[in-house]
Amino acid sequence: MLGKLIKHELNATGRIFLPLYIIILILSLVNRVLTTIKILDGPLNVLRGFTITAYTLSIIATLVVTFVIMILRFYKNLMSDEGYLMFTLPAKPSQLISAKLIVSSLWNIASIIVVACSLLVMLGTSKNMGILREFIDMALTGMKASFGSSYVLLIVEFIIMMIVSLIQQVMLIYVSIAIGHLFNGHKVIGSFVSYIAISTIIQILVTIILLIWARIAGSSLDDLEAIPQLVFPFSIIFSLICNILFYLGTNYIFKKKLNLE
């Protein structure tokens, strides 16, 4: 059933995001062509300004709107009147949550990849690519000098940390919406207050842990170089724990305390 839910969600959201991705790639290609044309003034110069503005707005829309739409779909499909239908399906609440989470994560990651590809299309001249390669080589050389052979592991940990952190933000909103719907007549306010409260608690915990670590580790150069090797695994583990707690909390409310009135 989970596979069917994911397929349905991908089909429903693909109608929104795929055209958006096509638009941003076309705009990047158009801007690439216009930037190669030497224009001092005239209609083409106005057109170039318009397309650059449109491209910038499309990047914002791709990154921000993707996240917002997926949250709104979670709210509309599961916590509004549509929820009466969704929760009558032969699917467990955990499967409904998982389907929304998986598809949301996939689209958010896809949006980042599409934006990166569009930037390569627009700015990927031989000169710019040479500068990019030099920057990457310099960054890798610096990482090798600081962290030795473990620099590859740090890169992998950083990518995992970003993905897990993204999922944490989605799950934080999910559990906040679920908690907010326990308050009759004040569901939106309850969701907002829940989000602020949970976020504050997390920030306090992270701050306390980091302060304790800094107190123990000191501030020598060796310790500073070891920060990524300690912070990345800590961030991954902490985010995973938060994700599990948020998931279990949302699932419990859906199973035992569901309130769609």
> How confident is the model over 23-35, as pLDDT tens digits?
888 888 887 777 7
CA distance 63 to 119: 14
Q: Residue holding tokens 């110069």?
A: 45
The pLDDT tens digits for 166-177 are 899 889 989 998
CA distance 83 to 96: 11
Q: Residue holding tokens 């959201």?
A: 13
Q: What is the mean pLDDT of the chain?
A: 79
Q: Give the distance between the most distant pair of CA atoms in the chain.
A: 67
Distances (CA, A) of 1 to 32, 49, 146: 45, 49, 48
Q: Which residues does 70 contact at the CB level (< 8 Å), separation at least 6?
A: 13, 100, 103, 104, 107, 108, 170
CB-based burial label for 193 (10 Å; 0-12, 13-18, 19+): middle
Distances (CA, A) of 76 to 64, 70, 125, 145, 256: 18, 10, 44, 51, 20
Cβ-contact 246, 171 below 8 angstroms: yes
CA distance 245 to 228: 25
The tokens describing 173, both together, are: 């909103």
Provide the percentage of residues in the chain whose pLDDT is more than 90: 7
CA distance 216 to 236: 21
Minimum mean pLDDT range among 36-50, 116-130, 238-252 = 36-50
Cα 125 versus chain centre, distance: 29
- Polymer length in residues for the chain: 261
What mean pLDDT do residues 128-142 have? Answer: 76
Residue 153 is classified by DSSP as H
The pLDDT tens digits for 51-95 are 778 878 878 878 888 888 888 888 888 877 776 677 777 778 888
Q: How confident is the model at residue 237 (pLDDT cuts 50, 70, 90)?
A: confident
| More confident call, 251 vs 122 | 251
Minimum mean pLDDT range among 24-38, 134-148, 185-199 = 134-148
CA distance 83 to 214: 47
pLDDT at 221: 42
